[in-house]
Structure 1
Amino acid sequence: MATVNETKSYLYNELWRLCAGPLFDLPKLGGRVYYFPQGYIQQLEISTNSEFAQMQPLFDIPSKIPCNVIGIQLKEVGTPIPIKNQENPQFYYFIKVLSASDTNPHGGLSVPKSMLLNDMSHPIPTQEIVAKDLHGREWRFKHIFRGTLRIHLFTTGWNAFVTTLIGTRRVANREGNIPSLVISSHSMHQGVIASAKNAMNNKCMFIMLYKPRSSQFIVGYEKNLDAVNNKFSVDTKFTMLFKDDDFNEK
């Protein structure tokens, strides 16, 4: 059986995955991956509206570089390092795109009735719900039934939570979502590409900023081999999973 700490770790990891989304495949600690420099250059171009397409030939970098992941630091919501296999508890969750009324300072969050009934032993008119966010901060919400249809709402405490944007997954910014303070000059672009070249030649460590939504330029070793071994021909049809702005999988 799983211990209390293991159960908390599992629920915490699942919360990270739900906020990050199912389509983002981040590397695992100790895993083998391929690094695609051209994809990284494209990420920089998208985020800065600049043209660095000629940087790769200047540094004579291969199309892909085999690497080992020796450390992961999560700056934003992403997939955490997996924990050991264990008997994981069952939990309930739902994903909702916040409406105007949900984010109104004088409103509250409307919650699907089916989800709240899973966590209630008796149908009471009001109750207090205590939850922790991704940073371990405790939040208290007042849950009430309102109206003849007995709509479930989070009222007191909800506005303070939603305005912090903690635990809310944002719609991807099509014009790039890398802060300008992170990538600020041409010399920095040259530096990160040159560091990859140096690491490849000297078998040493290098660090990169990875934004899967912009460009998935880090691919698992086995996943890359599977893709290469698929001998697609012209006019081959295939299916692809993607998510729209409402976070619906298609």
Structure 2
Amino acid sequence: MRLSSSGFNQQTQEGEKKCLNSELWHACAGPLVSLPPVGSRVVYFPQGHSEQVAASTNKEVDAHIPNYPSLPPQLICQLHNVTMHADVETDEVYAQMTLQPLSPQEQKDVYLLPAELGTPSKQPTNYFCKTLTASDTSTHGGFSVPRRAAEKVFPPLDYSQTPPAQELIARDLHDNEWKFRHIFRGQPKRHLLTTGWSVFVSAKRLVAGDSVLFIWLENFL
């Protein structure tokens, strides 16, 4: 299942390339995923990594990754860097980690735990995720948003208007900008994303069963 995401009220300085926002990344990854802090020690399993790469690329392990018979089944490493990414084609999030194997002597040295170790990954509070229906992905329809979710994540509507409506500007994981018309109408009345939604669906190649996540990030730079 693919997971697309959009963040509201995000601002970037012109010409500045920014890293993927941590809260947005963790919202897409889900509450069961946590990343070790830089400076911590981790156990790296080469064979497991090889099998995972083979499965993700649909290739045999031996055909894609060299075989090192002398490599131990597990390596104790120190984590030097973590970079959060999102696949350009599918929006699937993943993390790139830089590891340095520790020598037997280094493993015996006194190790001070990082202050962040054991701290749960920060999950955003103002977001909602919805599994798309056939109606949501129809090029002639719109995206139906649960009222509680719309009131929690979207900017407030002016209900003195007839009908209440506004333009929303969102950015996806790759900092691409999308514009949607948010309107409150129908019988019974409901929140809908109309103009701009079908363009988003087509560009992301979304189908019923995929999930879309919207998150409000205030002061996201």
Change beyond 3 A, Cα 1:80–1:22: farther
Letter in 1 for 2:177: E
CA deviation profile, 1:80-120 (whole Å, cap 9, x unmatched): 99xx99xx9x8521111111111111111110111222331
Structure 2 residue 107 is matched with structure 1 residue 68? no
Gapped regions of structure 2 (runs ≥ 5): 1-9, 12-17, 88-92, 98-115, 212-221
Structure 2 residue 150 is matched with structure 1 residue 116? yes
Maintained 8 Å contact 2:157/2:165: no
Structure 2 residue 203 is matched with structure 1 residue 158? no
Structure 2 residue 23 is matched with structure 1 residue 14? yes
Maintained 8 Å contact 1:13/1:79: no
120-129 vs 153-162, which moves further: 120-129
CA deviation profile, 1:6-52 (whole Å, cap 9, x unmatched): xxx9x932111112223333443333211011211221342325365
Maintained 8 Å contact 1:16/1:80: no
Change beyond 3 A, Cα 1:117–1:128: same
Count of residue correspondences: 160
Change beyond 3 A, Cα 1:57–1:131: closer
Equivalent in the alignment of 1:129: 168
More helix by share: 1
Maintained 8 Å contact 2:184/2:190: yes
Change beyond 3 A, Cα 1:164–1:109: same
Q: CA RMSD in A?
A: 4.2
Structure 1-normalised TM-score?
0.51
Q: Highest relative contact order (Cα 8 Å, sep 6+), 1 or 2?
A: 2
CA deviation profile, 1:126-154 (whole Å, cap 9, x unmatched): 21112222222322110112321112110
Identity of matched residues, %: 39
CA distance in structure 2 between the aligned counterparts of 1:93 and 1:40, rounded to whole angstroms? 32
Maintained 8 Å contact 1:142/1:155: yes
Equivalent in the alignment of 2:94: 78
Note the 1:83-98 alignment, pairs <5 A. Answer: 91-98=125-132
Choose the corresponding residue for 2:138, options 104, 116, 131: 104
More strand by share: 2
